Amino acid sequence: MTKRTIIILASIAVLIIIFIVVFDIFEINEVESQKELSRQMFLSDTFPEEYKPYIDELKKKYPNWEFKALYTNLDWKYVIDNENIYGKNLVPKSYSDSWKNTKPGEYNVEIDSGWVDSSREAVEFAMDPRNFLNYIRVFQFEELSYNQYSNNTSSIEKILYGTEFYNRIVEYKNASGTNIVTDKKYSDLILSAAKTSKVSSFHLASRIKQEVGPFLSHSSISGTVDGFEGLYNFYNIGATSSSEPMGAIKNGLQYAKDGKGASEATKKKYLIPWNTKERAITGGGIFIGSSYINSGQDTIYLQKFHVYDTGSGELFWHQYMTNVLAPYSESKIIYTGYANSDMLDNPMSFVIPIYENMPDLPCTSPAISASDFSSDNTKVYANVETSLNVRCGPGTSYESLTTVQGGTQMTRIAKGKQKGELWDRVILENGLVRICISKLC
């Protein structure tokens, strides 16, 4: 073989390799483009009439916020039927019976330690987006991609404030029980994980607070659980429910150990084993990004309620958590972090699911007793000299949705008959449905 022939063959080989690489990149980009196109087909700037009053109030308060309607094309009853399956949505056992499944044989059965199956009414309340279109709870609909302009360690620290992660140097124990002290803070690890995973650092910080609470002693991140020494799981990934003592924790730590039988490629992708806190925080962030956010489940709500997916197309199974109120709780953590960072006026994007054949009125919280109201259909006026807060529930602990001036007309659809302070359910002239203290005439 001549030298010229060898050079020609080598050149051809290089061209083939370049073609393969370019083709692979094109194929990957084509898949991503198809996913994005599929998503765009479901998104709209136009909301149904019953959503508009809530969106308008939010825009009035925060004009830089953007809202997109995600038309799922799913029937409301079909959605609730598929979510109201035993063990899929849980509430604390300490909750009142209105929150719990009371069927014989299923009532108060601990599916996970301290957690029981939720009632259908709890699922309906938690899934009705109209219940959470206020300036705090709307953060369960925030898009969760990483933003290099807003994500920074000082803002992360403000989210971590009040926990043992706040302004804290990271220490951890290895499998031998030796204590390792690093030169990084938790906020450093979270920001690095966000950059790597392309997931919002605020979401990762809030998710850690939601999953393991404020204390470093939580079993998922202590590194001291028998049989799982030196392993960490900050997001409780793989921590499936179990009636065994610490069953869910051990399931999560088993995932941290070996990915529960995952392939070598998968373990490499997620940095498993999670035998340092940095690997656990970053690897878990990559898991959340690739398993949820990059598949269209890019809000807390969509991670909890699997009603939209750009991947398999199968719904209702790929759900990050079982706590039916997790999005509700986590949204306040995120809001507080933004508020403490003076970031609420920044541009933000929210994706709100829309279902077919929804009830005319927002589904009521199981915490609000129907016996505390009597039906009404009366034109009334705000009987105050200055202004009246219209709230999400019957009490000042509920968020205010809007404020109306004295003399404003509204329709009272349910008259309060609670003990002590009275609260009425009303519809404002713009269609907003909520509750206000009974100062009406």
Per-residue pLDDT of 74-87, as tens digits, reads 999 999 999 999 99
- Cα(115)–Cα(89) distance, rounded to whole angstroms? 10
The count of C-alpha atoms lying within 13 angstroms of the C-alpha of 147, restricted to the half-sphere facing its C-beta, is 15
Which tens digit of pLDDT belongs to each residue from 141-156?
Answer: 999 989 888 889 998 9
User: Is the model's pLDDT at 26 over the cut of 50?
Assistant: no
CB burial of 55-89 (b: ≥16 within 10 Å; e: otherwise) equals: bbbbeeebeebebbbbbbebebeebbebbbeebbb
pLDDT at 125: 98
Q: Helix (H, G, I), strand (E, B), or coil: what is residue 426?
A: strand
Per DSSP, what are the bridge partners of residue 65?
348
The residue-averaged pLDDT of 186-193 equals: 98
Question: Which long-range contacts link 345-349 to residues 24+ away (Cβ below 8 Å)?
Answer: 345/62, 345/64, 346/64, 346/150, 347/64, 347/65, 347/66, 348/62, 348/64, 348/65, 348/66, 348/142, 349/65, 349/66, 349/67, 349/68, 349/142, 349/143
Which residue has better confidence, 294 or 258?
258
User: Where is average pLDDT lowest: 18-27, 275-284, 286-295, 428-437?
Assistant: 18-27
pLDDT at 7: 53
The predicted model scores a pTM of: 0.75
Cα 156-298-145 angle, rounded to 5 deg:
45
The residue-averaged pLDDT of 324-332 equals: 95
Which tens digit of pLDDT belongs to each residue from 372-399?
Answer: 999 999 999 999 999 999 999 999 999 9
